[in-house]
Amino acid sequence: MKIEEARIKAQELRETLEYHSNRYYNEDSPEITDYEYDMMMRELKQLEKDFPELVDAASPTQHVGGKAKREAGVLVRHNVPMLSLQDVFSKEEVKSFVEEMEEKLDHPEFVVEYKIDGLSMSLRYENGKLVMAETRGDGIEFGEDVTENARVIDDVVQELKDQPEYLEIRGEVYMKNADFDAVNERQELLGKKVFANPRNCAAGTLRQLDSDVVKERKLSLFIFNLQQVRGKEFATHTQAYEYMKSQGISIIEDYKLCHTFEEVWNAISFIGENRGNLSYDIDGAVVKVNSYAQREYLGNTAKVPRWAVAYKYPPEEKETKILDIELSVGRTGRINPTAVFEPIRLCGTTVSRATLHNQDFINDLDVGIGDTVVVYKSGEIIPKIKSVVREKRPDGCVTYQIPDVCPVCGAKTLREENTADIKCTSATCPAQLERNIINFAGRDAMDLKGFGTVYIEELVRKGFIKDVADIYELKDKRDELIELGIIGKEKNTDKLLQVIEDSKSNDADRLFTGFGIPNVGKTAAKALLNHFGDIEKIAHASVEEMTEVADIGEITAQCIFTYFALPENQRLLERLKTLGLNLIKEKETLDSNVFEGKTFVITGTLPTMGRKEAAALIEKNGGKVTGSVSKKTDYLLAGEAAGSKLDKANALGIPILSETDLKNML
């Protein structure tokens, strides 16, 4: 390869790696596997080795991924850099590392331990008390202060039994697979975005502001390194581990002390063979020099310590045959296709199922029942289908198509706008009933205060609620509810029943939002009701008539049309009308037209107004409020701790307003 070709290729790799590094470290939303990222990084390193003149200080090979953010707290300066590790991918590379250590050091010992797949965090103790928890951030200078969030993690020790003058330790915040599944189930039930994997969930949770959410999601922590200590002395990594264990600190499990390359490789192989039996994800094995004196002698590069490497396991792949494709319906109504295949052994466990995600994924794979497929686990617990073995496709096998009817209730399905999700359109589908009721009772819809998830789940499971209209007939079962104690004693039951009764007079757009029609949120509901004035008129409107409303596109209109075309949804609307709910929108009178045709986004904490109050003020003066910044946004109303929306608005050149600016415009 010539130097100019190498220069162009290196620049392409750098840009791609920086993009995916940002997705992983800062957005907690990776688009490629760790293995794919590692292979690109390896290619770039080789180019820079072959052409030293291409080495650039800004290259991702020369610095730690990620940058400090301000979501969970203020930035803090690291006392000790939180470096990454040098990755290796083969037995030969591990052997080379061990031999290099043996050449430079006198009888080195090695510790082999799990490389947990999570978010790095350091804990600082002064006189035995926890005083600071920080994320890695940029790894060199700054991290984020996440002390309050760390305090609610069960594995974080608040006060040490011993009380050393100063102790700083580093570990990995992660999620056990069972806890991750529980969080995603909850997210789906509440109609929120699910997390891609436990690492993303742990990272996003630790960085956000509400410590109650951190506690609820049950993050875990393993400590894997002593960063700094005063008032104690340790000669080795394993001595420090033993001390930490005596203080109740959770350290990396099942580490192995090794003296030869053979022992090191056996330990790595053992971890690889048994990683599928762990209750959490690992993405490799770490090999460390045990002696602190030897570590100090070896030192660090700008990015990694010279005394450790991280071995990344190659993706384990096996062929198997698709026996069936099963369909299930999630609590949001989403149709979930799952491949059922002949059982195979991967990463220490037997697997026979893998998600096919959606129709786009199925089409891209070109997979059908009877196909032979390649299944893998890339350092993860969940098996995935990588590809179809075309030459083994049997006669008559075709690409699978998800039916256009719900597999649970038989209602028509619909693909949501800007997503790959296909959903059941029936409001009475048993598979999504709880989710529909929770949405209906939520703040953006009927706002039934006190009607929480626990009550809803119990009332659905005991048969009191089969659709949203049943909520308004609970008053007829008051005595039975009190006797069973589902809502509580007489006072609590009567209080909730009164809230339900009072909600009948809510604005019609709240009721329309409560139907949970795909792509119809409170903004779209309000626009439709302002135009038609009556939910019944919307229910009988054509797609063309609905698209005449500003900001109502054809896909949204089609979702509404399909929803009301179902007889069960027509019956539901008629029943709600009979029960006395308000279906008619009173004509709103604006205070002014100052903001007519203008779109606002609100972010941060305003000095004197809540966001809802500010939104209402804008709408009362002719403006529109949306939830995300785009080129169509006219103004960003920003308060304290504005976050990423402010960054995006600045990047797009969108005017930024303070609360005072907004009031002055009026």
Q: Residue 327: inside a domain, yes or no? A: yes
Catalytic: 49? no
Task: Give 571's pLDDT tier (boundaries 50, 70, 90).
Answer: very high
Q: Based on the domain organization, do 540 and 566 belong to the same domain?
A: yes
Q: Residue 401: inside a domain, yes or no? A: no
Q: What pLDDT does 352 receive?
A: 92
Cα angle value 579/584/586 (rounded, 5°): 135
* Dist. CA 124–CA 166, nearest whole Å: 7
User: Which residues 6+ apart lie within 8 Å of 459 measured at CB?
Assistant: 465, 474, 486
Residue 128 confidence (pLDDT) above 50: yes
Residue 73 confidence (pLDDT) above 70: no
Q: Based on the domain organization, do 170 and 231 belong to the same domain?
A: yes
Best-predicted range by mean pLDDT (31-40, 65-74, 76-85) = 76-85
In this structure, are residues 439 and 445 in contact, taking their beta carbons and an 8 Å threshold?
yes
* Dist. CA 32–CA 30, nearest whole Å: 6
Q: What pLDDT does 35 receive?
A: 63
* Dist. CA 471–CA 487, nearest whole Å: 13
Q: Residue 614: inside a domain, yes or no? A: yes
User: Which residues 6+ apart lie within 8 Å of 398 measured at CB?
Assistant: 368
Cα angle value 442/445/450 (rounded, 5°): 35
Q: Comparing C-alpha atoms, which of 224, 171, 217, 222 is closest to residue 198?
A: 217
Backbone phi, psi, residue 241, to 5°: -60, -45
Helices 453-461 and 433-441, packing angle to 10 deg: 140
DSSP 416: P
The pair of structure tokens assigned to 569 is 């949804």
Q: Residue 542: inside a domain, yes or no? A: yes
Q: What pLDDT does 28 receive?
A: 52
Q: What is the pTM of this model?
A: 0.54
Residue 164 confidence (pLDDT) above 70: yes
Residue 150 confidence (pLDDT) above 60: yes
pLDDT digits (tens, 9 = 90+) for 619-651: 889 888 887 888 889 999 998 877 778 888 888
Out of 215-219, 343-347, 588-592, which region has the weakest mean confidence (pLDDT)?
Answer: 588-592
* Dist. CA 645–CA 628, nearest whole Å: 7
Q: Is the dihedral of CA 130, 134, 140, 141 positive or negative?
A: negative
Q: What pLDDT does 266 receive?
A: 97
Number of domains in the chain: 5
Residue 386 confidence (pLDDT) above 50: yes
Q: Which amino acid is at 593?
A: N
* Dist. CA 206–CA 201, nearest whole Å: 9
Q: Based on the domain organization, do 326 and 364 belong to the same domain?
A: yes
* Dist. CA 624–CA 651, nearest whole Å: 22
Q: What pLDDT does 171 receive?
A: 96
DSSP 323: E
Q: Based on the domain organization, do 300 and 249 belong to the same domain?
A: yes
Helices 261-274 and 91-104, packing angle to 10 deg: 140
Q: Based on the domain organization, do 439 and 573 belong to the same domain?
A: yes
Task: Give 557's pLDDT tier (boundaries 50, 70, 90).
Answer: very high
In this structure, are residues 164 and 128 in contact, taking their beta carbons and an 8 Å threshold?
yes
Q: Residue 248: inside a domain, yes or no? A: yes
Average pLDDT over residues 345-370: 88
Beta-sheet strand order (sheet of 656-657) = 624-626, 599-603, 635-638, 656-657
Domain that holds residue 141: 75-311
Q: Based on the domain organization, do 615 and 543 belong to the same domain?
A: no
Backbone phi, psi, residue 58, to 5°: -85, -5
Q: What is the CATH number of the domain that holds 386?
A: 2.40.50.140
311, 330, 362 — which closes off a domain?
311
* Dist. CA 133–CA 122, nearest whole Å: 6
Q: Which residue has the tokens 């951030």?
A: 137
Backbone phi, psi, residue 49, to 5°: -75, -40
Percent of the chain whose pLDDT exceeds 90: 53
Q: Which residues pair with 291 in a beta bridge?
A: 236
Out of 33-42, 206-215, 350-359, which region has the weakest mean confidence (pLDDT)?
Answer: 33-42
Average pLDDT over residues 398-418: 87
Q: Which amino acid is at 604?
A: G
Backbone phi, psi, residue 104, to 5°: -90, -20
Compute how many other C-beta atoms are within 10 angstroms of the C-beta atom of residue 45: 17
Query: How many CA atoms lie less than 13 Å away from 464 in the CB half-sphere?
Result: 21
Q: What is the CATH number of the domain that holds 607?
A: 3.40.50.10190
Dihedral angle at the C-alpha atoms of 288, 289, 295, 300, nearest 10 degrees? -40
Which of the pair, 474 or 33, is modelled with greater confidence? Answer: 474
Q: Residue 61: inside a domain, yes or no? A: no
The pair of structure tokens assigned to 545 is 């008539």
Residue 653 confidence (pLDDT) above 50: yes
Average pLDDT over residues 579-604: 87
Q: Which residues pair with 305 in a beta bridge?
A: 300
361, 392, 423 — which closes off a domain?
392
User: Which residues 6+ apart lie within 8 Å of 355 measured at CB?
Assistant: 336, 337, 338, 339, 382, 384
**Total count of residues recorded for the chain:** 666
* Dist. CA 519–CA 552, nearest whole Å: 10
Q: What pLDDT does 68 receive?
A: 43
Q: What pLDDT does 348 receive?
A: 59
Residue 505 confidence (pLDDT) above 60: yes
* Dist. CA 291–CA 649, nearest whole Å: 51
DSSP 587: P
Q: What pLDDT does 609 receive?
A: 85
Which of the pair, 570 or 53, is modelled with greater confidence? Answer: 570
392, 421, 449 — which closes off a domain?
392
Q: What pLDDT does 69 receive?
A: 42
Q: Based on the domain organization, do 523 and 658 belong to the same domain?
A: no
pLDDT digits (tens, 9 = 90+) for 451-485: 988 899 889 889 999 999 999 999 999 999 999 98
Q: Is the dihedral of CA 413, 417, 421, 425 positive or negative?
A: negative
In this structure, are residues 284 and 226 in contact, taking their beta carbons and an 8 Å threshold?
no
User: Which residues 6+ apart lie within 8 Å of 141 measured at CB?
Assistant: 68, 77, 78
Q: Residue 59: inside a domain, yes or no? A: no
Q: What is the CATH number of the domain that holds 523?
A: 1.10.150.20
DSSP of 518-531: TT--HHHHHHHHHH
Task: Give 72's pLDDT tier (boundaries 50, 70, 90).
Answer: very low
Residue 356 confidence (pLDDT) above 50: yes
Kindly give the residue spans of alpha helices, DSSP state H, lying in 447-542. Answer: 453-461, 478-484, 490-502, 508-514, 522-532, 535-539
User: Exposed, middle or buried, 213 (CB in 10 Å: 0-12/13-18/19+)?
Assistant: middle
Query: How many CA atoms lie less than 13 Å away from 195 in the CB half-sphere?
Result: 24
Helix and strand numbers, DSSP H then E, in the chain: 24, 22
In this structure, are residues 288 and 308 in contact, taking their beta carbons and an 8 Å threshold?
yes
Q: Based on the domain organization, do 262 and 320 belong to the same domain?
A: no
Q: Residue 408: inside a domain, yes or no? A: no
Which position among 45, 91, 115, 587 bears the catalytic label? Answer: 115
Q: Based on the domain organization, do 269 and 376 belong to the same domain?
A: no
Q: What is the mean pLDDT of the chain?
A: 88
Percent of the chain whose pLDDT exceeds 70: 93
Q: Based on the domain organization, do 304 and 320 belong to the same domain?
A: no
Q: β-pairing, 142-144 with 129-135? A: unpaired
The pair of structure tokens assigned to 467 is 């659709």
Q: Based on the domain organization, do 126 and 140 belong to the same domain?
A: yes
User: Exposed, middle or buried, 404 (CB in 10 Å: 0-12/13-18/19+)?
Assistant: exposed
Q: Based on the domain organization, do 216 and 81 belong to the same domain?
A: yes
pLDDT digits (tens, 9 = 90+) for 241-277: 999 999 999 999 899 999 999 999 999 999 988 887 8
DSSP H/E element including 420: none
Q: What pLDDT does 70 receive?
A: 39
In this structure, are residues 77 and 88 in contact, taking their beta carbons and an 8 Å threshold?
no
* Dist. CA 88–CA 311, nearest whole Å: 5
